[in-house]
Amino acid sequence: MSKLTLKAAVALIDGALAEAARQKCRPLTVSVLDDGGHVKAVHRQDGSEFLRPRIAEAKAAGALGMGRSTRKMGEQAMQHLPFFAGLVGASDGRIFATAGGVAFTDSVGEVLGAVGVSGDTSDRDEACAFAGIAAAGFKVAPDS
C-alpha cells in the first residue's frame, strides 16, 4: 500500500494554495499522485480551466516516470525535441516538460509521490509545488 496518506496529500495541496494566495497567482489546479503515478488528491480552484487537471497530473506523472523534475525536463527538451515529442506519445500524454511537476520524499529519502501544479507561469506553479511539499513535511526528490 502506498505510504502517502490522504491527510498528507491534502496538507500538501493546502500549502501550495496558501503560497498561491500569498503570490496572488491565477487560479490553480494541484494534483498529488502516489509513487506509482496514481491520483491521491486533486483540487481545482474556481476559474482554473478544465484542462488544468490533465496538465497538473501530467506534470506529476512525468516527474515520477522519468525521475526528474519537469523543470529539468523542460531544459533538456529544447535540446532534444524529438525525444520529448516521442515521450508525449509513449506516455499517453502523461508527461509535461514545463516546471511545476516535482517528486517528493519522506525524511529518509524514499519517494512517496509527486505533485503537479498548473495555472500560472511555470515558475510560480513550481514555487507553489515547493511550498506544498514543505508544508506537508516532505522533501523535494533529487533529479536522477
Question: In whole angstroms, how far apart are CA 1 and each of 38, 98, 141?
Answer: 12, 30, 20
56: buried, middle or exposed (CB in 10 Å: 19+, 13-18, 0-12)? buried
Q: How far apart (Å, rounded) are the C-alpha atoms in residues 83 and 43?
A: 31
Q: Which of residues 3-32 bind its own copies (CB under 8 A)?
A: 5-6, 10, 26
Task: Give CA angle at 81 (76, 83), nearest 5°.
Answer: 80
Q: How far is the CB of 138 from its own copies (least distance, A)?
A: 16
Nearer to its own copies, 30 or 127 (CB): 30
Q: Which of residues 37-76 bind its own copies (CB under 8 A)?
A: 37-47, 49-51, 53-55, 57-58, 62, 64-67, 73-74
Residues in contact with its own copies by the rule CB under 8 A: 1-2, 5-6, 10, 26, 34-47, 49-51, 53-55, 57-58, 62, 64-67, 73-74, 77-78, 80-98, 110-111, 122, 144
